[in-house]
Amino acid sequence: MSARQSRGRSAPPSVAPPLARWRFGLVLVGIVAVAAVLVGRITLLQVMDRPFLQSQGDARTLRHEAIPAHRGMITDRYGEPLAISTPVVTLWANPQELPEDPVRRVMLAQALGMSLFDLDARIARYDEHEFMYLRRQMTPRAAQEVLDLRVAGVYSQQEYKRYYPAGEVAAQLIGVTDVDDAGQEGLELAYQPYLSGRPGQRRIIQDRRGRLVRELGVVREAQPGGDLTLAIDQRLQYMAYRELRSAVEDNDADGGVLVMLDSRTGEVLAMVNLPSYNPNNRAGLDPGGLRNQALVDVFEPGSVVKPLAMSTVLEKPGYSPETVMDTAPGWMRIDGYTIRDFRNYGELSLTDVLVKSSNIGMSRLALELRDTAIWERYNQLGFSHSPGTGFPGEAGGNLPDTVNFSRSERASLAYGYGLSVSAVQLASACTAIANRGRRMPPSLLKLDEAPPGEPVIEPAVADELMGMLEAVVGPGTGGRRARIEGYRVAGKTGTVRKTGQSGYDEDAYRSVFVGIAPASKPRIVTAIMIDHPKAGEFYGGAVAAPVFSDVAGSALRLLGVPPDADESSP
């Protein structure tokens, strides 16, 4: 074969060595294996482990945030607000995210109204935590000024704060809420479940710094609390507070209580206590001002319950307001105790026994009755029973045990000693006189209709008592200062010694008055107690009766009660 022919032929194809083919196959198998592993892992993550991974991711980014519920409003009987909730902002921080830069911290402290020392101390206290409050319940504007600084680790949450438009005037009745808007005292506490409502909930996505990325929707709508309508008439409440405070100050007294009921329904139109406090600013609060004395405190009523005891006498055959009895010599001893009148009144009609407030007359009458007759009447009138208003800690008062009931105990009950009642119980008991024998239970809430009442005193006897009590406040009597120009008034005075550690104090008294107006067609029953007047006067007719005249007179005019046409000026 020639060289030319040799060059014209193509070379045979090269054959890969066996080692090269083996390497190629190994790489191919490796790629396929890795791809299979990746596909399997992806399948495992996306299919098999998806619920777990999704939950873990949600746990780091998905949050359920509470939606605060608006607390219900408390109003007077005409819708005037007594307690309302206003939106506020609470600032909180994650101490681990707060900047170390001293300049930023100074700016934050100044915006919060704090010193840098106090802020640093608080951060140090919570440095191992992820949450701490910076300031609670700020106004939205003040909170926004802090947030505008854009300090890392500072966040906000929406809340509500309670505000009380009537302030100290109705503080003990309405009560207060704590910083979390939960009832702590008074009606705020009594109706906490009703007023508080139910918080809602929404789903949100947050970034790793806790900032809101997106709202995913509302899980549960917030249900606002219910509104509470009280029987209180805010006009009468303000007026009663003003007059009671004036009387307490003028008589240098330790305090006082006033309760005004609608005699037809038992609704509490006004309830005032002194000392009081401002529920909107509790700095330097005197704990004594927190007590709603009208409902939770009791005292010996003294002579103001004599008409109630007299009702048992008048129901006995042979007794009438004109029945005459002898009270001479003005004192008597029973079971070793001496009972005295102010002076020897001699013979008195039963009406005059009330007018003169004769302890001797009431004692002798009590001893002519069955042993437990007066005790049973007081029990029927609600003494020793809870008034049933639902107010936290309301007192039931006390009546003595009738086992081994002594003559002196029977006598003392008749003139108002040996028992204890609250001002609300006292006023409620006297509605039985105003309603021709039917006692109206007290109500702090506005009623849609008048309750039937509880028959306690015979109607004819209640009418007689009303006439006798008009005489008690007639011209020239100890109760004359309770009279109201243009209206007929019925009432009874009382002066009670206070008790100390060793018995009754010689120079510490409570001045009491209970009145009904107008006597011709009763509309209001008012009980007043002035605690320990020290300015000189201490008799109920001199201290408490004038308060009734001012308060009841203004109340009748505000309520639009027409004057008695035949009533001359006092």
Cα gap 68→547, rounded to integer Å = 45
Find the angle CA(288)-CA(291)-CA(296) to the nearest 5 degrees. 135
* Strand, coil or helix: 188: helix
Q: Classify residue 38 by burial, with Cβ atoms within 10 Å: 0-12, 13-18, 19+.
A: exposed
H-assigned helices in 300-355: 306-314, 350-355
Whether residue 361 contacts residue 381, with contact meaning beta carbons closer than 8 Å, is answered with no
Check if 569 is active-site: no
Residue with tokens 């024998």: 437
* Strand, coil or helix: 16: coil
Whether residue 159 contacts residue 178, with contact meaning beta carbons closer than 8 Å, is answered with no
Phi, then psi, of 360 in degrees rounded to 5? -65, -45
Q: Kindly state the tokens that stand for 45.
A: 């993550």
The length of the chain is 570
Cα gap 454→417, rounded to integer Å = 25
Beta bridge partners of 455: 438
CA 54 and chain centroid, separation: 48
Beta bridge partners of 474: none
Beta bridge partners of 515: 491, 526
Q: Which of 303, 357, 358, 412 is catalytic?
A: 303
Q: Kindly state the tokens that stand for 485.
A: 């120009």
Give 180's Cβ-side CA count (13 Å radius). Answer: 6
Q: Classify residue 48 by burial, with Cβ atoms within 10 Å: 0-12, 13-18, 19+.
A: exposed
Give 444's Cβ-side CA count (13 Å radius). Answer: 25
Tell which residue, 323, 369, 368, has the closest CA to residue 347.
323
Cα gap 283→285, rounded to integer Å = 5
Cα gap 445→238, rounded to integer Å = 18
Tell which residue, 512, 513, 527, 524, has the closest CA to residue 554.
524
Catalytically annotated residues: 303
